[in-house]
């Protein structure tokens, strides 16, 4: 019971992070626009990226599609890691931030659905 609650809390943290990221892109908030451009992305890509992240959030938030959503969002985190690495961002705070978010997201999923991960480890 405690593990499940911790898993829900971690999943909510991941959902909030991605939802805020998507909202910043969809509403074209100035710091988000600037940061995304600094990573080398054109302004024309920002809203579509926000829509795609929002799709991942919805997939992750729905219990029956949470695993697919986690895989989907992991792809976005990989892109963020690669983008930060490419421009020479600091390793621990920027480049690896996607790894930290992925650990929270997958940790939440593993604690919510331990039977899925037990079957995968057989």
Span 68-106, pLDDT tens digits:
999 999 999 999 999 999 999 999 999 999 999 999 999
CB atoms within 10 A of CB 34: 9
Go through the chain and tell me how many residues it has. Answer: 122
CB atoms within 10 A of CB 116: 12
pTM of the model: 0.92
pLDDT at 120: 73
For the chain, helix (H) and strand (E) counts, in that order, are 6, 0
């Amino acid at each position: 019971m405690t593990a499940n609650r911790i898993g829900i809390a971690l999943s909510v943290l991941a959902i909030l992070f991605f939802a805020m990221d998507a909202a910043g892109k969809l509403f074209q908030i100035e710091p988000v626009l600037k940061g995304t451009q600094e990573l080398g992305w054109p302004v024309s890509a920002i809203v579509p990226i926000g829509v795609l992240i929002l799709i991942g959030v919805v997939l992750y938030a729905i219990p029956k599609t949470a695993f697919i959503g986690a895989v989907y969002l992991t792809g976005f985190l990989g892109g963020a890691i690669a983008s930060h690495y490419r421009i020479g961002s600091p390793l621990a705070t920027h480049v690896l931030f996607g790894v930290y978010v992925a650990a929270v997201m997958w940790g939440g999923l593993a604690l919510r659905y331990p039977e899925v991960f037990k079957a995968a480890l057989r």
